[in-house]
Amino acid sequence: MPGKRGWGWWWARLLLCLLLSLSGPWVPSSLGKPKGHPQMNSIRIDGDITLGGLFPVHGRGSEGKACGELKKEKGIHRLEAMLFALDRINNDPDLLPNITLGARILDTCSRDTHALEQSLTFVQALIEKDGTEVRCGSGGPPIITKPERVVGVIGASGSSVSIMVANILRLFKIPQISYASTAPDLSDNSRYDFFSRVVPSDTYQAQAMVDIVRALKWNYVSTLASEGSYGESGVEAFVQKSREDGGVCIAQSVKIPREPKPGEFDKIIRRLLETSNARAVIIFANEDDIRRVLEAARKANQTGHFFWMGSDSWGSKIAPVLHLEEVAEGAVTILPKRMSVRGFDRYFSSRTLDNNRRNIWFAEFWEDNFHCKLSRHALKKGSHVKKCTSRERIGQDSAYEQEGKVQFVIDAVYAMGHALHAMHRDLCPGRVGLCSRMDPVDGTQLLKYIRSVNFSGIAGNPVTFNENGDAPGRYDIYQYQLRNGSAEYKVIGSWTDHLHLRLLGICVWFVVDPSHSVVDFQDQRTLDPRFARGVLKCDISDLSLICLLGYSMLLMVTCTVYAIKTRGVPETFNEAKPIGFTMYTTCIVWLAFIPIFFGTSQSADKLYIQTTTLTVSVSLSASVSLGMLYMPKVYIILFHPEQNVPKRKRSLKAVVTAATMSNKFTQKGSFRPNGEAKSELCENLEAPVYLASSTTTPPLMDTPDDSVGHTLHQMTSGSLQSCSSSQSTSFPVPTAWGSLQMPGRHPWLHLADVPSSLSCQDPDGVKAVLWPRAPALSPV
Element (H, E) at 578: helix 576-599
| Res 636: pLDDT | 82
- Specify which of 12-16, 529-533, 713-717 reaches the highest per-range mean pLDDT: 529-533
Listed residue (211, 166, 208) closest to 187, CA to CA: 166
Per-residue pLDDT for 515 more than 70? no
pLDDT digits (tens, 9 = 90+) for 685-706: 333 333 333 333 333 333 333 3
The pLDDT tens digits of the residues spanning 381-396 come to: 667 788 899 899 999 9
Return the higher-pLDDT residue of 713 and 593. Answer: 593
* pLDDT given at position 143: 66
What pLDDT is recorded for position 715? 32
Which tops the pLDDT comparison, 187 or 719?
A: 187
pLDDT confidence tier of residue 425, bands split at 50, 70 and 90: very high
Lowest model confidence (mean pLDDT) among 22-31, 293-302, 719-728: 22-31
Say what the pLDDT of residue 325 is: 93
Question: Distance between CA 478 and CA 481 in Å, rounded?
Answer: 9
Q: Which residues pair with 490 in a beta bridge?
A: 479
Tens-digit pLDDT profile for residues 28-85? 333 333 343 333 478 999 999 999 999 999 998 887 788 999 999 999 999 999 999 9
Is the Cβ–Cβ distance between 113 and 48 less than 8 Å?
no
pLDDT at 665 (0 to 100): 39
Strand extents, DSSP E, 400-471: 455-456, 462-463
Model pLDDT, residue 498: 58
When pLDDT is averaged across residues 88-103 and rounded to a whole number, the result is 95
| Amino acid symbol at 341 | V
Mean residue pLDDT across the chain: 76
Indicate the angle between helix axes 342-349 and 78-90, nearest 10 degrees: 100
Summarised one tens digit per residue, pLDDT across range 275-324 is 989 999 999 999 899 999 999 999 999 998 999 999 988 988 888 999 99
Q: What does DSSP assign to residue 476? A: E
Residue 219 pLDDT > 60, yes or no?
A: yes
User: Quick one: pLDDT band at residue 27, thresholds 50, 70, 90?
Assistant: very low
Query: What percent of the chain shows pLDDT beyond 70?
Result: 65
Question: What share of the chain in percent tops pLDDT 90?
Answer: 41
Note the pLDDT of residue 267: 95
Q: Is the pLDDT of residue 11 over 90?
A: no
What percent helix, strand, coil does the chain show, rounded to 5? 40, 20, 40
pLDDT tens for 407-422 read 999 999 999 999 999 9
Taking the model in full, what pTM does it have?
A: 0.57
CB atoms within 10 A of CB 250: 23
Asked whether residue 332 carries a pLDDT value surpassing 90, the answer given is yes
pLDDT given at position 384: 76
User: What is the pLDDT at residue 564?
Assistant: 78
Q: How far apart are CA 206 and CA 289, in angstroms?
A: 20
